[in-house]
């Protein structure tokens, strides 16, 4: 901005006026500068919250409560109320209007203190604390006049409904099952779309709807329902800020009812009347006259004032410049494009630029890429004057390439006319604050990584990532010293020149130097050379340009070093980096030490676990604490001789045995007990500690009773399959558990082999036999010819042998012929020595079809000749059925989608064929014999079979099932009115359904399923499925899918009906109900073409009602309409069904008579003329005689169009009128004459 200095008083007068205006603008800047610098001292602070300015966000598109004027400024009832609140409380309010979705988003981000114009909903209660409601808002449905039947929320189903994004109406509609919603950014956007016929139905708050419908002049195009609900305007703050909400409510309570009414009248009432207007004109005239006189006087004194004002403005300008230049806070002046006009010395020093360099930059140049978009959005809002000012934290680019964190406050400066000139941007350096936050966050994240990392490697990676967010770590390593090996290890090493670092003996490298000194070292190139020359360090690896390392210290002992190094001038480390690394090093050292201790403990545990698990001796860890408690309790009860006690009470031995808890066992114990896993062993411990062998545990119990902590004995234990084994047992209490016996190690060695070799062999064979027989899987052995040599019980059951066995039968006896080649392929694979698993469909011994999965392993003799197959067979029939069911459901859903698409695209005249086609598809899919549709006629209270498909060989019944009285089938209608009617067995129907049962049996129906069709909650028919050849069942999932199909059929039929109504209305005369001219021509042209093709005569009668004008003039047009209606009735009554009747216009009617020669056509016209002339009608108590004049014409060979035929009939009609009316004239084509009748 250029400031004009003193010495310009010699300028022309008009230029001095301009200069004066510029000075006023500068004065405004000075005042703004003083306000900015002193705002913290003079601004009223809101109690409790500590806010200097209350930031309110509001919907900017909600007239008359809040909306933008033509200049884009916010106005409305709520704006005036908040201004009044500001005056009442003395607290400044900054109101921002924006799109409602954005307003809520910004409020939830904490950028505003209060949100207004908000409804209270369940989901919003989790976010906001709400005031009491202050305004009731009705929310109706609006729909186009061309749509009918919308009365409430349920009638919206099937329509696309427009709503405003984030509106409370969305929750209401979703809760009521209306999900086909189209969201718009504002209410006005919805109305604009409605004006362009893009929206036919919308749900909107009533005030803005009424406003915008009037604004866009489409009020007459839309109807509205009663309110769906009544919402309530509230103010809200974020949850937990109720103290601020109370202050706001108290402020509004100071506003009187009269003040509220005054604001409402301003926005709801009309302008002043004409009389008031004239008074205003008079007042304005008087004021104008006075003003004119004052202007003359002021003009005289203006020259003297200009000089004095100039001095004041220059003084103010000097003050502003002094503030701008001397402020310690960075200040910049920017234009609307974000270009820096100038910056004060403070900002130039902060960012390292010169004034001429700074003036070439923009806000986009200096803002960090991650923050450009948000900052520019705020800046654009400022220049649009949507907000008065904003504060934003962002990173700003220093001249040397690094970023400074700053808190930027920007406000707009306007001229005397309110036009924005430039913005003042104040910059507060908060880099140190942000750096402190980063340090705290790093310490926290390191502690979290210690807990969450699964290994030391994960911890090192996390440390590298965390440190890298603060300083350069492209070349980074952690070195740890191992005192046992005197080696320095590098568990984490990331370097651009070396892939990894081998362990080394500590020497004289930089790492060793830091370990020796126990202090951090920041060594640049010069410092490194200095240490080299002093012999303190030696070069190891690539020479760094800059090196930074800190010791890792735990309990005053250096355990290692953490270092980062740079090989180029572009990357260097600062003292701040050294301070940061030293600051976090203690936390990192503690974390590493803790994680190393954890891993050492884990490794130790693993070593002991390996020793335990791999021991050749069966080892059991057991808990005998409950046994000890039991024995001590018996001792308290006076038992001293436990041997005698257990002889007297042998059952107590078994009780003691049941108190033993097995905590863990090793692999050898599993082998000893024949257990496949520990979980299986623990689950079946009752097999090991069987009470039948309880006496074998007596020596063990007696030793415990004597207080021994270690002893040996031999006895019998069970395996899981119940086999007793002789074991040598050693029982030892773990040190430290002598008092409780809660941890005892029992080692067992099987010594029964040598004593019972033969008995054990027999027992083993029996055991395995039992095991195989009791397995849920089928076990078989098959020879090379597929003959079963062995089959267990499960295999026999799978193949349907509840009695008998598979042995000596062949696998080929149970498979279908088309599977023989597949079996031969599998046998070929087995002969090649490969095991395989395959699925197979079998036909069981009892004829049932099942699916099995077979695991087959080949068997070979000593000479490696294939002898057969060992097989494990699993019945997978249920799984197959489930898969088939899922596949069927998927196919059904795909079919429904295709059907829906077909109905949408089908022409209305083809709808019946399409319905029959889809009935065929669904019938074949459901494997039924007949599918059909019944329609219910509410007028005649009958139902008729309208569409039917029958499987080949099934007799159609559609002709027999027409106009059936509903009252004859009371039970059936009552059942199907609300829910599907499923009858799996007709013979099981109750007595109350005897009529229906008799009819079903008459038609040979065994099972049926009927699904209701509803339109507007009324039963209009049903879709049915019958089986005749066999009974059929439907499960719940099947029923639900078929009901969907019925709904699709119902919608298609209803859509077709509505289309037919619309098509019929388009070709019907509204008064008489006969065809209009358009409809008549469509049908007449078709009939004329058919007549010419088949050489059939076609006649035409063109008639005109006599003296219609006289009736209209005498009795009124309503009477004329009655007369025309009577004429149309006579026409219908005196013609055939195949004749085409139309109202040509006014009092003219035309009748086309297919297959009617001249004589027949004249006879029909004569009959019609006579029947009309013989009748009178009553109008207003007067009898009126009606008559017609008619012209008759015949379509001869040369007549090719309706227009030609009509022209001839019109010629005859003209002559009939000329001849005195009430008569008929026939046109003779061969001589162009007429005959009178």
pLDDT given at position 603: 74
CATH number at residue 993: 3.30.450.40
* 217 falls within a domain: yes
Question: What burial class does residue 49 get, using C-beta atoms within 10 Å of its C-beta: 0-12 exposed, 13-18 middle, 19+ buried?
Answer: middle
**Dist. CA 442–CA 587, nearest whole Å:** 10
Angle between helices 1117-1133 and 1108-1115 (to 10 degrees): 140
Residue 784: name the closest of 831, 821, 832 by CA: 831
**Tokens encoding 174:** 């979703």
* 760 falls within a domain: no
Long-range contacts of 428-432 (CB under 8 A, 24+ apart): 428/329, 428/330, 429/330, 429/350, 429/404, 429/405, 430/393, 430/405, 430/406, 431/404, 431/405, 431/406
pLDDT given at position 771: 62
**Dist. CA 162–CA 178, nearest whole Å:** 11
Q: What is the DSSP string of 1079-1131?
A: HHHHHHHHHHHHHHHHT--EEEEEEEETTHHHHHHHH-HHHHHHHHHHHHHHH
> Beta strands 778-783 and 1233-1236: pairing type?
unpaired
* 764 falls within a domain: no
Q: Quick: pLDDT tens for 1150-1201.
A: 999 999 999 999 999 999 999 999 888 888 788 889 999 999 999 877 777 8
Q: Do 402 and 517 have their domain in common? A: no
Q: Do 331 and 412 have their domain in common? A: yes
Residue 369: name the closest of 326, 392, 418, 403 by CA: 403
Residues 32, 33, 37, 42: what is their CA dihedral angle, to the nearest 10 degrees? -30
Whether the CB-CB separation of 173 and 153 falls below 8 Å is answered with: yes
**Whole-Å CA distances, 490 to 396, 481, 541, 602:** 38, 9, 14, 21
In this structure, the number of other CB atoms found within 10 A of the CB of residue 123 comes to 9
Enumerate residues 6+ apart whose C-beta is below 8 A from 715: 696, 697, 699, 700, 726, 727, 729
As beta bridge partners, residue 343 has 332
Q: What is the DSSP string of 804-825?
A: S-STT-BGGGGB-GGGHHHHHH
Give just the sign of the alpha carbon dihedral 14, 16, 18, 20. Answer: negative
Q: Do 545 and 454 have their domain in common? A: yes
**Whole-Å CA distances, 551 to 123, 223, 456, 589:** 53, 80, 18, 9
* 503 falls within a domain: yes
Count each helix (H run) and each strand (E run) in the chain, helices first: 38, 48
CATH number at residue 379: 3.30.450.20
Q: Do 443 and 424 have their domain in common? A: no
Query: CA 150, 153, 157 angle in degrees (round to 5)?
Result: 75
**Dist. CA 372–CA 393, nearest whole Å:** 11
Query: Which residue in the block uniquely carries the two structure tokens 């930074």?
Result: 548
* 108 falls within a domain: no
Q: Do 949 and 1041 have their domain in common? A: yes
Residues spanned by the domain of 628: 615-755
Question: What burial class does residue 1053 get, using C-beta atoms within 10 Å of its C-beta: 0-12 exposed, 13-18 middle, 19+ buried?
Answer: buried
**Dist. CA 515–CA 509, nearest whole Å:** 10
Q: What is the DSSP string of 529-586?
A: HHHHHTTS----SSPPSEEEEEEEEETTEEEEEEEEEESSTT----HHHHHHHHHHHH
**Dist. CA 1140–CA 1142, nearest whole Å:** 7
Q: Do 584 and 620 have their domain in common? A: no
Q: What is the DSSP string of 627-650?
A: HHHHHHHHHHTT---HHHHHHH-T
Residues in the chain, pLDDT under 50: 1-44, 48-49, 270-281, 283-284, 290, 313, 1231-1233
Domain end residue (candidates: 546, 575, 606): 606
Q: Count structural domains, the chain.
A: 7
Strand ranges inside 239-380, DSSP E: 330-334, 340-343
**Dist. CA 20–CA 17, nearest whole Å:** 5
Domain end residue (candidates: 846, 875, 904): 875
In this structure, the number of other CB atoms found within 10 A of the CB of residue 72 comes to 11
**Dist. CA 383–CA 364, nearest whole Å:** 16
pLDDT given at position 205: 93
Q: Do 987 and 963 have their domain in common? A: yes
* 152 falls within a domain: yes
Q: Do 1040 and 986 have their domain in common? A: yes
Whether the CB-CB separation of 1068 and 1078 falls below 8 Å is answered with: no
Report phi then psi at 139, rounded to 5: -125, 95
* 101 falls within a domain: no
pTM: 0.35
Q: CA gyration radius for the chain?
A: 50
Q: Do 594 and 469 have their domain in common? A: yes
Domain end residue (candidates: 223, 258, 284): 223
Q: Do 867 and 911 have their domain in common? A: no
* 59 falls within a domain: no
Q: Do 709 and 793 have their domain in common? A: no
pLDDT given at position 437: 78
3-state secondary structure 344-397: CHHHHHHHCCCHHHHCCCEHHHHECHHHHHHHHHHHHHHHCCCCCEEEEEEEEE
Q: Do 699 and 845 have their domain in common? A: no
pLDDT given at position 24: 36
**Dist. CA 934–CA 945, nearest whole Å:** 4
HSE, side-chain direction, 13 A CA sphere, residue 459: 24
Collapse the DSSP code of 1049 into the 3-class scheme (helix H, G, I; strand E, B; otherwise coil) and give the result. Answer: helix
Q: Kind and range of the H or E element at 662?
A: strand 661-665
Enumerate residues 6+ apart whose C-beta is below 8 A from 399: 351, 352, 353, 357
């Amino acid at each position: 901005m250029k400031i004009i200095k003193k010495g310009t008083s010699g300028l022309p007068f008009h230029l001095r006026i301009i200069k004066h205006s510029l000075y006023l603008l500068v004065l405004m800047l000075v005042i703004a500068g003083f306000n900015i610098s002193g705002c913290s001292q003079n601004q009223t602070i809101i109690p409790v919250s500590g806010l200097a300015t209350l930031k309110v966000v509001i919907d900017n598109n909600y007239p008359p409560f809040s909306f933008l004027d033509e200049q884009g400024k916010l106005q409305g009832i709520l704006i005036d109320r908040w201004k009044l609140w500001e005056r009442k409380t003395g607290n400044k309010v900054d109101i921002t209007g924006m799109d409602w979705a954005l307003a809520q988003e910004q409020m939830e981000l904490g950028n505003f203190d209060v949100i207004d114009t908000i409804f209270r909903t369940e989901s919003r209660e989790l976010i906001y604390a709400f005031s009491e409601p202050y305004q009731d808002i009705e929310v109706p449905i609006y729909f186009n006049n061309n749509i009918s039947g919308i009365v409430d929320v349920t009638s919206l189903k099937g329509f696309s409904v427009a709503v405003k994004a984030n509106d409370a109406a969305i929750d209401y509609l979703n809760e009521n099952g209306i999900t086909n919603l189209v969201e718009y950014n504002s209410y006005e956007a919805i109305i604009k779309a409605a004006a362009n016929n893009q929206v036919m139905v919308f749900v909107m708050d009533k005030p803005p709807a009424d406003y915008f419908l009037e604004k866009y002049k489409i009020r007459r195009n839309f109807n509205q329902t009663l309110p769906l609900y009544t919402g309530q305007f509230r103010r809200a703050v974020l949850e937990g800020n109720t103290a601020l909400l109370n202050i706001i409510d108290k402020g509004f309570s100071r506003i009187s009812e009269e003040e509220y009414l005054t604001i409402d009248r301003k926005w709801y009432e009309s302008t002043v009347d004409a009389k008031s207007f004239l008074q205003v004109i008079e007042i304005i005239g008087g004021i104008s006259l006075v003003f004119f006189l004052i202007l003359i006087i002021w003009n005289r004194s203006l020259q003297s004032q200009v000089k004095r004002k100039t001095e004041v403005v220059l003084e103010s300008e000097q003050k502003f410049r002094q503030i701008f230049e001397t402020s310690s806070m960075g200040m910049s002046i920017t234009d609307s494009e974000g270009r820096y006009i100038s910056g004060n010395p403070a900002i130039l020093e902060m960012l390292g630029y010169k004034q001429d360099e700074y003036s070439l930059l923009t806000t986009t140049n200096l803002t960090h890429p991650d923050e450009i978009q948000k900052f520019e959005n705020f800046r654009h809002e400022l220049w649009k004057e949507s907000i008065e000012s904003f504060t934003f934290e962002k990173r700003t680019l220093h001249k040397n390439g690094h970023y400074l964190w700053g808190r930027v406050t920007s406000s707009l400066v306007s001229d005397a006319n309110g036009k924005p000139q430039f913005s003042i941007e104040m910059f507060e350096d908060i880099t140190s604050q942000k750096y402190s936050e980063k340090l705290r966050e790093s310490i926290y994240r390191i502690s979290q990584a210690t807990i969450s990392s699964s290994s030391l490697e994960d911890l090192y990676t996390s440390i590298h990532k965390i440190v890298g967010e603060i300083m350069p770590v492209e070349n980074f390593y952690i070195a740890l010293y191992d005192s046992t090996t005197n080696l320095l290890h590098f568990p984490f090493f990331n370097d651009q020149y070396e892939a990894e670092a081998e362990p080394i003996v500590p020497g004289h490298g930089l790492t060793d130097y830091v370990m020796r000194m126990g202090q951090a070292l920041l060594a640049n190139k010069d410092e490194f050379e200095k240490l080299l020359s002093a012999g303190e360090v030696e070069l190891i690896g690539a020479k760094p340009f800059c090196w930074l390392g800190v010791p890792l210290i735990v309990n005053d002992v250096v355990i290692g070093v953490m270092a980062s190094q740079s090989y180029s001038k572009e990357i260097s480390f600062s003292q701040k980096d050294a301070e940061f690394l030293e600051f976090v090093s203690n936390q990192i050292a503690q974390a590493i030490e803790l994680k190393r201790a954890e891993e050492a403990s884990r490794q130790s545990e693993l070593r002991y676990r390996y020793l335990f698990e791999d021991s050749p001796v069966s080892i059991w860890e057991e808990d005998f604490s409950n046994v000890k408690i039991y024995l001590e309790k018996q001792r308290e009860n006076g038992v001293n001789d436990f041997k005698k006690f257990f002889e007297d009470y042998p059952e107590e031995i078994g009780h003691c045995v049941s108190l033993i808890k097995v905590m863990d066992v090793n692999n050898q114990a599993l082998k000893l007990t024949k257990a496949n896993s520990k979980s299986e062993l623990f689950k079946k411990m009752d097999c090991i500690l069987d009470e039948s062998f309880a006496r074998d545990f007596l020596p063990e119990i007696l030793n415990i009773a004597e207080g021994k902590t270690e002893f040996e004995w031999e006895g019998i234990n069970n395996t899981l399959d119940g086999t007793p084994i002789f074991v040598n047992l050693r029982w030892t209490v773990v040190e430290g558990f002598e008092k409780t016996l809660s941890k005892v190690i029992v080692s067992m060695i099987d010594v029964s082999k040598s004593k019972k070799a033969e008995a054990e062999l027999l027992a083993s064979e029996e055991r395995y036999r039992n095991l195989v027989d009791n397995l849920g899987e089928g076990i078989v052995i098959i020879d090379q010819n597929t003959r079963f040599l062995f089959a267990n019980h499960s295999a026999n059951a799978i193949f349907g042998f509840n009695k008998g066995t598979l042995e000596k039968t062949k696998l080929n006896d149970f498979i279908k012929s088309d599977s023989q080649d597949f079996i031969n392929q599998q046998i070929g694979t087995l002969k090649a020595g490969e095991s395989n698993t395959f699925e197979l469909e079998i036909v069981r011994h009892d004829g049932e079809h099942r699916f099995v999965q077979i695991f087959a392993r080949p068997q070979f003799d000593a000479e490696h000749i294939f002898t057969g197959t060992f097989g494990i067979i699993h019945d997978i029939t249920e799984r197959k059925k489930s898969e088939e069911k899922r596949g069927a459901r998927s196919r059904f859903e795909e079919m429904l989608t295709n059907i829906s698409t077909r109905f949408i695209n089908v022409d209305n005249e083809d709808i019946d064929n399409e319905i029959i086609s889809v009935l065929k598809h669904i019938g074949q899919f459901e494997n039924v014999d007949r599918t059909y549709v019944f329609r219910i006629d509410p007028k005649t209270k009958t139902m008729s079979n309208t569409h039917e498909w029958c499987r080949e060989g099934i007799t159609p019944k559609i002709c027999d099932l027409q106009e059936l009285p509903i009252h004859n089938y009371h039970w059936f209608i009552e059942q199907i009115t609300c829910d599907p009617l499923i009858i799996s067995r007709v013979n099981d129907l109750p007595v109350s359904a005897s009529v229906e049962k008799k009819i079903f049996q008459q038609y040979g129906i065994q099972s049926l399923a009927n699904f209701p069709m509803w339109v507007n909650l009324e039963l209009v028919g049903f879709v049915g499925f019958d089986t005749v050849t066999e009974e059929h069942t439907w499960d719940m999932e099947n029923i639900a899918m078929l009901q969907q199909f019925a709904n699709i059929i119902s919608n298609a039929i209803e859509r077709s009906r509505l289309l037919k109504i619309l098509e019929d209305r388009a070709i019907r005369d509204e008064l008489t109900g006969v065809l209009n001219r358009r409809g008549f021509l469509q049908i007449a042209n078709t009939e004329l073409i058919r007549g010419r093709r088949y050489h059939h005569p076609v006649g035409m009668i063109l008639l005109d009602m006599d003296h219609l004008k006289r009736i209209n003039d005498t009795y009124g047009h309503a009477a004329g309409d009655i007369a025309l209606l009577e004429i149309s009735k006579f026409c219908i009554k005196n013609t055939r069904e195949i004749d085409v009747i139309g109202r040509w216009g006014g009092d003219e009617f035309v009748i086309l008579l297919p297959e009617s020669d001249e004589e027949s056509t004249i006879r029909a016209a004569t009959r019609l003329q006579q029947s009309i002339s013989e009748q009178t009608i009553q109008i207003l108590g007067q009898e009126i005689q009606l008559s017609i004049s008619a012209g008759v014409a015949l379509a001869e060979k040369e007549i090719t169009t309706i227009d030609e035929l009509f022209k001839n009939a019109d010629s005859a009609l003209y002559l009939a009128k000329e001849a005195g009316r009430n008569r008929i004239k026939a046109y003779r084509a061969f001589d162009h004459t007429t005959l009178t009748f």
